[in-house]
Amino acid sequence: MYDILIVGAGIVGCFLAHDLSKKELKVAVFDREADVANKATMANSAIIHSGHDPLDNTLKAKLNVRGNEMYESICKDLGVSFKRTSAFVAATSMEEEDTLDMLYQQTKNRNIPVMYLTKEEAIKKEPNLSDHVTKVIELPTTGIVYPWEVAIALAEEASENNVDFYLNEQVEKIKKTQKGFEVITSKGNYEAKIIINAAGVCSDKIYGKVSSKVDFEITPRKGEYFVLDKLKKPLVSRVIYPVPSSAGKGVLVVPTTHGNVLLGPNSEMVDSGELNNNTKDSLDYVKKEIHKTVKNIPMDKVIHSFAGVRPTSTRHDFIIEEAKDVTDFINVAGIESPGLASAPAISEYVINEILSKKIRMNEKNMYTKRRPNIKLKEMTEEEKNELVKKNPAFGKIVCRCEQITEGEIIDAIRRPLGATTVKGIKKRVRPGMGRCQGGFCEPLVVDILARERKISPLEVRLDGDNSVMLMEETKE
């Protein structure tokens, strides 16, 4: 019997699992995906927004501001990257300037640092700001993270502290019982006292498994992006937002923690959370809109495009509450933007405002910190050579674009909750994330994964169970 069973191993599920692993509780996390952080957490703008733009009196506004305050120390603690880059909101017309003024006032009222810049000041800071830009506000508390790195680190530490992760396992039925719940998955039966529904685009369906009075609906919204190669001279050093409109935050230019740039997203309602495909129309839209705020964008340096689906809800705010009709079933749903930025605050809110009133939460005496990833790139030459002497695999570069060694890849597989798929390795240590997109290193990664897991290369998967890589051996 689990005390708490979390459905969904996205950024929210991972924060909850991590934070609850510090308590004397039996906690489990279920996800139908092959890895944690595999859906919306894998495909978003990667920004820790300041909290400037959600509407007043929403959970979004409250938890975004709080989340932004929390992130830096959490990331430091986990040994993952966080960079407070600051951000511009750039207006390009009189009309937009009016909205910008309103935004400035709203931000000021929330006690979030914000300042007006003249066009000259703005261009001095961001030389590639478009000539169309007429007025700018700067939001210095804005930051960036590597979203799945954060989620994976949280999950690893949770796993080290006895949270059970069930991946590749779909929740099929949930029955309310006298003691709590019985959960039937694609692989087994489990019992839990409390269920937290953090199932992202599926959260209405998961709620529907235990209730006939589901009081929200997820209306998935897709956003598509381009990724630019690392440039010799950075295109931007801050997040550049256009002035938001009814359609959302607009098409952004975002520096990433690894020196790439994200361009996007558009925003399109789709029928299902599964529809994370790229379409030509959307990519063309991003390509057109992106020049509104930033110039000199080298589109020939695009190395990748992707799409993410956000779980927008019909209530247009985060839904964080116990289900009205099912005791001990807690919905954490509709976590669209600024979900990533709010995630630590969401977890804190769920624990303090809801769980603490339901279950005793004693702090564990023993808590194991996660061992940070070995990042050769951040070491001195002496440190690296020390490592190579101990283990020659750290002298074997597998990914030339990102300069990732075999040793780092093996570490990513052997860690707690380690990578089991090619995508899992890519998410943890980045081979294949560079300009050749795995053309050179993917066969090497397949080879290492097969060797480490003692399986045939034919059994290695890109991601889910059906995503085989190689079809057959010749001459057999």
Partner 1 sequence: MTKKEMACIVCPMSCHLEVTLDDNNNMIEVIGNTCKRGEVYAKSELKNPVRMLTSTVKLEGGLYKRLPVITSVNIPKDKLFDVMKEINKIEVCAPIKVGDIIISDVCGLHADIVASRSVERTDGDNRTESNTCNSK
Partner 2 sequence: MKEYEIVIIGGGSAGLASAIEAYKNGCKSILILERDKELGGILLQCIHNGFGLHMFSEELSGPAYAERYIEQLKELGIEYKVNSMVIHLSKDKIIQYVNPTEGYVSVKAKAVILAMGCRERTRGAIAIPGYRPSGIWTAGTAQRYLNMEGYLVGKRVFILGSGDIGLIMARRMTLEGAKVCGVAELMPYSNGLPRNIKQCLEDFDIPLYLSHTITNIKGKDRINSLVIAQVDDKLCPIKGTEKEFEVDTLLLSVGLIPENGLSEEADILLHEKTKGAIVNESYETSVEGIFACGNVLHVHDLVDYVSSEGMKAGRAAAKYMKGELTQKEGFQTEGKDGIGYVLPHKVNVDNVEDKIECMFRVTGIYKKAVIRVYKDGNLFKTIKKQHMAPAEMEKLILKKEEIEDIKSVLSIEAGYE
Q: Rule CB under 8 A: which residues touch partner 1?
A: 392-393, 395-396, 406, 447, 474-475
Give the C-alpha distances (Å, rounded to integers) separating 218 from 50, 137, 323, 333: 25, 33, 16, 8
Q: Which two tokens stand for residue 65?
A: 């501001």
Q: Which helix (DSSP H) or strand (DSSP E) does residue 99 occupy?
A: helix 94-109
Q: How far is the CB of 388 from partner 1 (least distance, A)?
A: 10
Q: Could you tell me whether strands 189-197 and 329-333 are parallel, antiparallel, or unpaired per DSSP bridges? A: parallel
The three-state secondary structure class of 10 is coil
Is 397 an interacting residue with respect to partner 2 (CB under 8 A)? yes
Active-site choice (49, 132, 291, 304):
49
Closest Cα to residue 28, out of 263, 268, 198? 198
> Would you say how long the chain is, in residues?
476
Decide: is 440 part of the binding site for partner 2 (CB under 8 A): yes
Measure CA 256 to chain center: 13
Q: Give yes or no for a cis peptide into 113 (omega within 30° of 0).
A: no
Q: Which does 351 bind (CB under 5 to 8 A by kind): partner 1, partner 2, none?
A: none
CB-based burial label for 108 (10 Å; 0-12, 13-18, 19+): middle
Q: Whole-number minimum distance, CB 392 to partner 1, in Å?
A: 7
468 binds, among partner 2, partner 1, none (CB under 5 to 8 A by kind): partner 2
* Binding of partner 2 by 465 (CB under 8 A): yes
Look at residue 232 and give the partner it binds from partner 2, partner 1, none, a contact being a CB closer than 5 to 8 Å depending on partner kind. partner 2
Q: Which of residues 330-349 bind partner 2 (CB under 8 A)?
A: none
469 binds, among partner 2, partner 1, none (CB under 5 to 8 A by kind): partner 2
Exposed / middle / buried, residue 81 (Cβ in 10 Å: 0-12, 13-18, 19+): middle
Q: x/- string (CB under 8 A) for partner 2, residues 255-294?
A: -------------------x-xxxxx--x-----------
Give the containing element (helix H, strand E) for 135: strand 135-139
Q: What is the Cα 89 distance to its own chain's centre?
A: 23
E-assigned strands of 345-468? Answer: 397-399, 404-405
Please identify, using beta-carbon distances, which residue of 184 and 393 lies nearer to partner 1.
Answer: 393
Is 49 labeled as catalytic in the residue annotation?
A: yes
Residue 357 binding result from partner 2, partner 1, none, given CB thresholds of 5 to 8 Å by partner type: none
Cβ contacts of 179 within 8 Å, gap of 6 or more: 1, 191, 193
Return the number of the residue (418 or 438) whose C-beta is nearest partner 2: 438
468 forms part of the interface with partner 2 (CB under 8 A): yes
Q: Give the total of residues touching partner 2 (CB under 8 A).
A: 54
- Candidate segments 7-15, 16-24, 125-133, 434-442, binder of partner 2 by CB under 8 A: 434-442
The catalytic residue positions are: 49
Can you give the binding site for partner 2, defined by CB under 8 A?
226-227, 232, 274, 276-280, 283, 302-306, 381, 384-385, 388-389, 392-393, 395-397, 400-401, 403, 405, 435-440, 442-443, 457-458, 461-475
